[in-house]
Chains A and B, each alone.
Chain A
Amino acid sequence: MNHLDSVPVKEEEVKVIVNPKVFLVSRQSVKEFLIEKGLFLFTILSSILIFFVFIFVAKEAWPVLKANGLAFVYTGGWDQDFYRAWVATAKEPSWRFGALPLISGTIFTTLGALCFTVPLGLGCAIFLVEVCPPWFFKPVESTVRLLSAIPSVIYGLVGLLVVVPWIDRHLVTNEMALRMAKVAALDGTSLLAGILVLGMMIVPIFVALAADALRVVPKVYKEGSLALGVSHWRTIIKIMLPGAKKGIIAGAILATGRAIGEAIALSMVSGSVANIPNPGHGLVFFLEPLRTLASTVVDNAEGMGVPTCESALFACGAFLLVSCVILSFFARWVARTQKQGGS
């Protein structure tokens, strides 16, 4: 078909040819009509489903959000609240929930993982595209792709059996644990373990996308810069990275989305205690256990039968959903501004 593809077709000609109604006879047109409407029905069903997910989560989350108002965001004590709601009688349910520890946990782990991922991933992507010898490229690339497809529970398993004991043995001292005993038990399950495991998990996604973005930077840019006598590294930093900015940011956004929503791996390695790590504690900050919004839903899933707990879990889900919507809009906005900038 190659020679056909290469024949330039003018726009007007296309429109004349692509008018199927000219050729239809009546029995066929009934069938065509039915099929089109059938497919339309499926589409409508999908759209109903998609909007239903949003509406359902919002509806279920509403009671708790209404009962707590903004306090849901800025008060702590989730574990006690949850226990109170769990043991409360049906006649006087306890609606008070404070999700500050969960929200801060989500933010800490995600930001931490990003700080860890972006430099490492960028270095990796630059190495893959610019430095790596061709024979080495293929196996590395397929490994990166495989790693981005590995289920998160496996990262959780490795984290729990390798990273957590390592932190417990080498970083947590007895004196430290004694000092922190009132706040939380330091046993290796910690913010640091969460950041490391989460970072490991999102690095492959970021590398794959950033490498793709670097590869589509027009060759002329690089050649022009090199021809002007600019050194290779300076070209990479000053020409290649700005040229690939859009794709790199898109990769970072995707990685953030995955980090925010990660449930199982973090519930395994980060301690599952609704605790706010206190930066005032110095470096111990990184060794304190915490819990994120997503892993809360996994850990507290047994509360689903109790209306108050169920609503509180849906409130967590609603927060996740909203953050995803924001990230998605942000991604679209980045794509659009870059297009207008004509990079």
Chain B
Amino acid sequence: MVCFAIVIYLFIKGIGAIDWAFLTQDPQPSLREELSGGILAPMVGTILLTAVGIIVAFPWALATATYLAEYAEDNFFFGALRLGIDVLAGVPTIVYAIFGLAIFSLPELAFFSSMVEGVAEGKAFGRSFLVSGITMAVMVLPFVIKSCEEAIKAVPQTFREAAFALGVSKWRTISRVILPAARPGIITGTILGIGRIAGDTAIVWLCLGGSMNLTGPQPWWYPQNWGATLQNAGSTLTTFIYYSSPAGEGNSPNKAFGAGLVLIIIILILNTLVDYIGSIGKLKEE
């Protein structure tokens, strides 16, 4: 199990970089490692982006999954749709990234980001939290649809029969019986989707812009600035790692290790949540 060494190595390297200042300062543009600040803005970015992505993706995916599992007939159209979902669940995120950037650079969609000034024909900047959040949503949509559909289909047929036998209508059966019964599976799928969003780099790199700090009006935590922050660029932990490593321009590997450790801890917490929900589901069945 050589792979295990990676986690240990990262832990040893990363733990030294993490202290209170590292977690609460914004990144500073500096080539000297000790002056390059902390990871507050990337952490906020990760949370914001994940929230936007999952808020867009979750209701949509759940509705589609419910329809596919409960209403859809077995015809050619839905067969093609299922195939499309299958294929798209495996498509590299970088494809979504250029897709999102190209779509949201259209001037008609500029309200998601901002207009580029000084260009005659007009072109949207195409990089913002909203843009990348929506692109993320499109990226995880097939994945979440698939896992929600499987969860709904795994609800025993007897539940439906019992509800119908009591004279309950179909939608009431779905909303009161089937969805609650499928909840652990749905939550697991959603958390895995969140993990994918938090861990993705390609979409962030292309659709969120290359700046390390939040570029909206400061300070970003004032309520009147929230909307503008969403329309502006920023960074997440993943791009911070990329940027701070020697491959980017920051050249502060220890900071990158620190951010990597924080990211792994986030992923670990999500994984534990999945395990926990899975075990609750099992207990209930028994």
Contact = CB atoms under 8 A, between A and B. Distances in A.
Interface of A: 1-2, 4-5, 9, 14, 17-20, 23-24, 28, 31-32, 35-36, 38-40, 42-43, 45-47, 49-51, 53-54, 56-57, 60, 124, 140, 142-147, 149-158, 160-162, 200, 203-204, 254, 257, 260-264, 267-268, 294, 297-298, 301, 304-305, 310, 313-314, 317, 320-321, 324-325, 327-328, 332
Interface in B174-204: 195, 198-202
A32 B161 contact: no
B91 A321 contact: yes
B84 A17 contact: no
B99 A53 contact: yes
B140 to A, nearest CB: 12
Given A1-B156, A313-B98, A320-B95, A46 B199 contact: no
B91 A39 contact: no
Contact of A40 (B61, B67, B145, B161): B67
Interface of B: 1-4, 6-7, 9-10, 60-61, 63-64, 66-68, 71-72, 77, 80-81, 83-88, 90-99, 101-103, 105, 123, 138, 141-142, 145, 156-162, 164-165, 167-171, 173, 195, 198-202, 205-206, 238, 241-242, 245-247, 253, 256-257, 260, 263-264, 267-268, 270-271, 275, 285-286
A315 B90 CA distance: 18
A14 B98 contact: no
Given A143-B1, A305-B123, A152 B92 contact: no
A23 B170 CA distance: 10
Give chain B's interface secondary structure class. helix
Given A143-B4, A160-B245, A317 B98 contact: yes
Contact of B101 (A161, A267, A304, A325): A304
B233 to A, nearest CB: 14
A13 to B, nearest CB: 9
Contact of B3 (A203, A305, A317): A203
Given A23-B169, A317-B95, A332-B86, 10 more contacts: A18-B160, A31-B171, A43-B67, A47-B80, A56-B103, A57-B99, A124-B1, A157-B257, A257-B90, A324-B87
Contacts of A146: 7, 267-268, 271
Contacts of A2: 286
A32 B169 contact: yes
Give the 9 A-B residue pairs with the shortest CB-CB distance, closest first.
A261-B92, A151-B199, A42-B63, A39-B67, A268-B247, A263-B94, A264-B201, A50-B84, A43-B67
Nearest to B242: A153
B173 to A, nearest CB: 8
B1 A140 contact: yes
